[in-house]
Structure 1
Amino acid sequence: MNWILLFLAGLFEVVFAFCLGKAKDSIGNWVYYWYLGFFISLCISMGLLIKVTKTLPIGTSYAVWTGIGAVGSIIVGIVFFKEPMEFWRLFFLFTLVASIIGLKFLSN
């Protein structure tokens, strides 16, 4: 169950990165709505991370959380913000995913 919560925490990290990107491109009152979404998803992500670190190792939890956020943010950047999809970027994204999976299997 804690691994599922950790995965959700990582997804909410992706959501707050997405909200930051949308706020940057918005005008008028929409900027404040995106910042509100950022703040809410940040609180949920941190709250879930705090919860899972009570039973999972802090180093593993934090590494997996940031890894999910990094991978998700890169994918969101490519899909929604038209960031470049280059070979080396995808190569290192793959190695990051492999490292996250490795940490999961090495964790008790």
Structure 2
Amino acid sequence: MAWLLVIIAGLLETGFAVCLKLSHGFTNIWPTVGFAAFALGSFGLLTLSLKTLEVGPAYAVWTGIGAGGTAIVGMIWLGEAVSVLKLVSIALVLTGVVGLQLSGSAH
């Protein structure tokens, strides 16, 4: 259950990062409200998951989902450049997160 919370928190991290961009420095109200809601949800769920999980692997999964998800959303919906190097880099981040999880004692 704790890992499900981390995954959802990572997806919410993607949401708050995208809303942060769309807020244009907190000058657009609805993306700013979205940023606050996604950030509170993301940090809240991560906090709950850390009651039972090791911080290193949990944080790595959270940030990996957030970083990869934000890059993918940026390329698909925000018109950011797509390149092979960017896609390979996202895959490497996710591979590193999985490797960190598999090497830990949180099984």
Report if TM-score (shorter chain) is over 0.5. yes
Aligned equivalents of 2:67 and 2:93: distance in 1?
Answer: 9
Partner secondary structure for residue 56 of structure 2: helix
Other-structure match for 1:39? 36
How far 1:40 moved relative to its partner? 0.8
Other-structure match for 2:12? 12
One-letter code aligned to 1:17 = A
CA RMSD of superposed structures (Å):
1.6
How far 1:104 moved relative to its partner? 2.6
How far 1:18 moved relative to its partner? 1.5
One-letter code aligned to 1:70 = A
Give the one of 51, 67, 70 matched to 1:70: 67
Moved beyond 2 Å, runs of 4+ = 103-107
How far 1:106 moved relative to its partner? 2.5
Aligned equivalents of 1:103 and 1:3: distance in 2?
Answer: 14
* Length-normalised TM-score, structure 1: 0.89
Percent identity among equivalent residues?
37
Q: How many aligned positions are there?
A: 104
One-letter code aligned to 1:38 = F
Unmatched 5+ stretches in structure 2: none
How far 1:21 moved relative to its partner? 2.2
Other-structure match for 2:47? 50
* Length-normalised TM-score, structure 2: 0.90
Aligned equivalents of 2:3 and 2:101: distance in 1?
Answer: 9
How far 1:63 moved relative to its partner? 1.1
One-letter code aligned to 1:86 = S
Aligned equivalents of 2:23 and 2:32: distance in 1?
Answer: 6
